[in-house]
Amino acid sequence: MSDRVELVVNRVERRVPKLVNGREQVPFQGVGVYQPTGQKHGPPIRSCSDFPANGDKRVPDLKTALRECGLRDGMTISTHHHLRNGDAVAMQALNAAAELGAKDLLWFPSASFPCHEPVIDLMERGVVHHIEGSMNGPLGEYCSRGKMRGMGVLRSHGGRWQAIQDGEVHIDIAVIAAPTADPFGNADGAHGPSACGSLGFALADSIYADQVIVVTDNLVPFPCIPWQIQGNNVDYVVEVDSIGDPAKIVSGTTQITKSPDRLLIAEYVARFLRDTGIMRNGFSFQAGAGGIALAFVDFLKQQMREAGVKARFVRGGSTQYLVDLLKEGLIDYILDGQTFDLAGVASIATDPRHVGTSPFTSYNYHGKGNFASLVDAVVLGATEVDVNFNANVNTHSDGVLLHGIGGWQNCLFAGCTILALPAFRDRIPVLVDSVTTLTGPGELIDVIVTERGIAVNPRRTDLLDRLKGSDLPIRPVAEIKHEVERLMGGPPAKPHLTDKPVAVIKWVDGTVLDTVWQLQG
Amino acid sequence: MSPSPKQADPSRGEAGPSGDDVRSDLHVAVELTGSGGLEFDITSKVASLYGESLRGLAHSVLAALGVSHARVTIDDKGALPFTIAARVEAAALRAGVRSKGDARPERSVTRDAPSARRRLRRSRLYLPGSQPKLFINAGIHQPDGVILDLEDSVHPNDKDSARLLVRNALRALDFSGTERMVRINQLPLGLEDLKAVVPEGPDLILIPKVERADQVREVDERIRGVRAKDGDGHSIWLMPIIESALGVENAFAIASAAETVVALTIGLEDYTADLGVVKTSEGNESLYARTRLVNAARAAGIQAIDSVYGDVADVEGLLEWARRSRALGFEGMGCIHPRQIQPIHDAFAPTAQEIEKALKIVAAFNEAEAKGLGVVSLGSKMIDRPVVLRAQHLVEVARRSGLLPNADGTGGADAT
């Protein structure tokens, strides 16, 4: 990457590069403004005559599969993150590519985890050129220090589907870890010793990649029932001893927060849904697997029981807590994007009301609608949020890239978007004047719930009206921020950043929302 | 600077916790040196955000204490300024600095009015004086009061540091408008505590292990002494804690020992130990002491406040205890965790029937007042003044508990 990068100022006053990894970019134009044109991207047409008539697509190992795929320098290799921090397949695939002598690869994961730290070594050795995908922990730090040769590109789950579908990212080889698969390549995530639940994040890869390799440690004779990945899209099947560490793929149980402050936040969120009337018969919601979100679900459950209210559907990240709601009959369906604990995996495998979804159905912005916008209320977190309700989930206040976007941006289109977060963490203010990195425009964020009060976006006069008579602590966001600043001993110093972009934050429509800058020193 | 011969046992002091699980706190080591000015070695979790501010604050505290040559090592885990100032001061004093300088941080909270004598005291949340991270958000859980504890929850070796933390906290944190109480140590150590905290204007002082009235009077006089030269004129209330058989025997004398005593409470761990019995969740072993305490408090015209319920996870047990406690005549109890506050408020809330009756009495009283009548009557019954007072108090408790809309729309005013 050359040191000189031409920058433009986008619609929300953020400086963004015109070119990213040699590709021309469209700066963010505002929510819902950019109009895509053209046809969707497509993989090459293939013929059954090129595949074994008996459907057995097995090859001995990943190296053979990659060689058969015609692995070359500069190719794009994708993996998915349903195995989370237990994933062994991404490293197996990239290491196999390294052994075959490949250089300058673009690794395109749906997300990365600390278990993928060895990719740093592959980048140092020139095997991997750069990463387009979430970069957590050490990878984020590596990128922030400007050590990656290419620019990082962070996309939401929906944005990743959009980028693949629109041809913005062309996947040469998709490597799909599958907890269960048959020799034809049909694959499922809910069964097998390394079960992870849904395989939705790998679906786009299976449809749009030039070549698809399914890797499994639980090969069953045809047919693999059910299948979420269709073998008709798959080129090769590889059997390995283990695709990952089950203990790190899903947690035994997801833990509710014990912090009284966070419990208070969760309680406020639940009461907010009740007092605004969003919690009513047939409503829908989404909450993640963080401590506050889980506690929120628990408080909401009590309220739903008391009020005799049922939800039509809930969007997962599924956990024990959602499964309990389903079993108790308080919700009709779980539409699940990923499965966080054993109870979730068991439920999706056995209960027809617990349905796996994909970023296409849930999140893709370049489609004819998506489920996330049908949800009445979503509860999300953030590392920072500012007085204009803009939020940051990618960098910390010191400017270091530490988190991916996940489905966060896509969820902002819910009927009521709620950020549930502490107003500060130790001496790190969460409520600030202006976010370090912009991941979500404030016009889409309706409510900020903190332990020190609830701020409603002044645009949502309807919500404010419905809260009249509620005894919830509704306060102006600037007032809460001011209180936090006084506690902290003044506003924080600005992070020391250079003018060199190291990554971009994509909006859900593929335009560039903001830039992550290299740290000084 | 040329290397100087190593000093024999340089004066060194340390304060604050260290370790990976420390949060919102810091460890400070101050080593007094004869020359070389102030040298700082600072590691901070928030270096990029508040590194400069941290260093500046440490510098100004040491300057105020007259320390001009020292090596200062700080390991900060995101402590707030009031904590930083207290830990630096404690480390310096432990290093042998004998300054009379004022190293208190700037006062950022002021209270317009003192707390009312007969305010609601349903819940008071204990905060160990050596754990500043628990102070910061204590008020948002809306207990009626917080207790900054310098006594049993603070290790004997850490009393000096905790005292400075509590003093600074009273200057820096508003605790969301709750009543700010400090539990001092037993005298004579408690006198040091009073010297440090009384000028900061806490609302109430809890005196532990009180057995005789003169112990209360001594504290009261000390407070008056400090207030006379360093106070804003308003009273600091006292709540003696009775924790022994002798204390129970002297309960009335203790309750009426000073004009500033507003409530009497009991510490059951020490009391049951004194009796040589086991403390149970039914509390039969302390029934005599608790009813005697209620009677003494009532006889002296003050509030009786119950002990704490020790099992944080057992909400049902807590509710049951609190309901029984209210039935005995107590007006509140202690909390050892924020999640105990709401159940206690629920249990001490008046019933619908009680509220209805009280409203009628208050209305009859208001009507009599308006008409200039000396006698209040409801139907054919004459209502005595204490009944009116109790009814007014009950209505106010009901309002504060959210069971009645506010009369004036302001909400939360204390019953006086």
Residue A120: its H or E element: helix A119-124
Query: What pLDDT does residue A213 have?
Result: 98
Q: What percent of chain B has pLDDT over 70?
A: 94
Query: Which of these ranges, B72-76, B317-321, B394-398, has the smallest mean pLDDT?
Result: B394-398
Cβ distance B141 to A398 less than 8 Å, yes or no, reads no
Q: Is pLDDT of A3 > 80? A: no
User: What are the pLDDT digits (tens) for A335-358?
Assistant: 999 888 989 999 999 999 999 999
Cβ distance B78 to A425 less than 8 Å, yes or no, reads yes
- Give the CA dihedral A248, A254, A260, A266, nearest 10 degrees: 120
pLDDT band at B299 (very low <50, low <70, confident <90, very high): very high
Q: What percent of chain A has pLDDT over 70?
A: 99
Q: Is pLDDT of B191 > 80? A: yes
- Give the CA dihedral B90, B96, B101, B106, nearest 10 degrees: -10
Query: What pLDDT does residue A13 have?
Result: 96
Cβ distance B80 to A487 less than 8 Å, yes or no, reads yes
Residues of chain A that touch chain B, judged by Cβ-Cβ distance less than 8 Å:
260-261, 263-264, 397-399, 425-429, 451-452, 471, 486-490, 492-493, 495-496
User: What are the pLDDT digits (tens) for A448-504?
Assistant: 999 999 999 999 999 999 999 999 999 999 999 999 999 999 999 999 999 999 999
Q: Is pLDDT of B233 > 80? A: no
Query: What pLDDT does residue A185 have?
Result: 98
Nearest chain B CA: its distance from A398 CA (Å):
6
The mean pLDDT value for A214-226 works out to 97
What Å distances lie between residue A321 and A294, A327, A328, A345, A356, CA to CA? 7, 10, 11, 13, 17
Optimal mutation site among A262, A424, A427, A488, interface B, most CBs of chain B within 10 A:
A427
Query: Which of these ranges, A155-159, A208-212, B34-38, B125-129, has the smallest mean pLDDT?
Result: B34-38
Q: Is pLDDT of B401 > 80? A: no
SS3 B168: helix
Q: Can you tell me which residue has the tokens 């007085």?
A: A387
Query: What pLDDT does residue A521 have?
Result: 79
Query: What pLDDT does residue B406 have?
Result: 64
Interface residue B406 vs chain A (CB under 8 A)? no
Q: Which residues pair with B266 in a beta bridge?
A: B242
A126 vs B408, which has greater pLDDT? A126
Q: Which residues of B touch A471 (CB under 8 A)?
A: 402
B169 vs B34, which has greater pLDDT? B169
Query: What pLDDT does residue B396 have?
Result: 83
User: What are the pLDDT digits (tens) for B6-35?
Assistant: 444 468 999 999 999 999 999 999 999 989
Q: Is pLDDT of B115 > 90? A: no
- What per-residue string of b and e applies to A190-217 under the rule 16 or more CB within 10 Å gives b? bbbebbbbbbbbbbbbbbbbbbbbbbbb
Interface residue B106 vs chain A (CB under 8 A)? no
Q: End-to-end CA distance of chain A, in Å?
A: 19
The mean pLDDT value for A390-400 works out to 94
Rounded Cα–Cα distance for residues A215 and A64 (Å) = 12
pLDDT band at B380 (very low <50, low <70, confident <90, very high): confident
SS3 string, A317-357, reads CECHHHHHHHHHCCEEEEEECCECEHHHHHHHHHCCCEEEC
Cβ distance B53 to A489 less than 8 Å, yes or no, reads yes
Q: Is pLDDT of B2 > 50? A: no
Q: Which residues pair with A354 in a beta bridge?
A: A334
Q: Is pLDDT of A225 > 50? A: yes
Q: Can you tell me which residue has the tokens 């004022």?
A: B102
AA letter at A343: A
pLDDT band at B413 (very low <50, low <70, confident <90, very high): very low
Q: What percent of chain A has pLDDT over 90?
A: 92
Rounded Cα–Cα distance for residues A160 and A509 (Å) = 10
Query: What pLDDT does residue A159 have?
Result: 98
Closest CA in chain A for residue B337: A260
The mean pLDDT value for B246-261 works out to 98
Q: Is pLDDT of B163 > 80? A: yes
Query: What pLDDT does residue B6 have?
Result: 44
Reading the block at residue A490, the tokens are 């003044």
Phi/psi-derived region of residue A22, left when phi > 0, alpha when psi is between -120 and 50, beta in every other case: left
Cβ distance A428 to B23 less than 8 Å, yes or no, reads no
Nearest chain B CA: its distance from A79 CA (Å):
34
The mean pLDDT value for B70-77 works out to 97
Cβ distance B24 to A426 less than 8 Å, yes or no, reads yes
SS3 A516: strand
pLDDT band at B226 (very low <50, low <70, confident <90, very high): confident
Query: What pLDDT does residue B409 have?
Result: 45
Query: Which of these ranges, B270-284, B330-344, B385-399, has the smallest mean pLDDT?
Result: B385-399
Reading the block at residue B260, the tokens are 């500033």
Q: Which residues pair with A108 in a beta bridge?
A: A78
Interface residue B164 vs chain A (CB under 8 A)? no
The mean pLDDT value for A359-370 works out to 97
Q: Return the closest-CA partner of residue A86 out of A336, A411, A342, A404.
A: A342
Instruction: Report which DSSP code applies to B138.
Output: G
CB distance B153 to B175 below 8 Å: no
Rounded Cα–Cα distance for residues B116 and B122 (Å) = 14
Report residue A119: phi and psi, to 5°. -65, -25
Q: Which residues of A touch B46 (CB under 8 A)?
A: 426-428, 492
SS3 A495: coil
Interface residue B45 vs chain A (CB under 8 A)? yes
Query: What pLDDT does residue B390 have?
Result: 86
Q: Are strands A283-287 and A311-315 parallel, antiparallel or unpaired?
A: parallel
Query: What pLDDT does residue B415 have?
Result: 33
Determine whether A351 is exposed, middle or buried from the number of CB atoms within 10 Å of its CB (0-12, 13-18, 19+). middle
Q: What percent of chain B has pLDDT over 90?
A: 75
Q: Is pLDDT of B294 > 50? A: yes
pLDDT band at B4 (very low <50, low <70, confident <90, very high): very low
Helices (H) then strands (E): counts for chain A: 15, 29
Q: Return the closest-CA partner of residue B334 out of B271, B282, B399, B267.
A: B267
pLDDT band at B100 (very low <50, low <70, confident <90, very high): confident
Interface residue B277 vs chain A (CB under 8 A)? no
Query: What pLDDT does residue B377 have?
Result: 84
Query: What pLDDT does residue A65 have?
Result: 98
Q: Is pLDDT of A105 > 70? A: yes
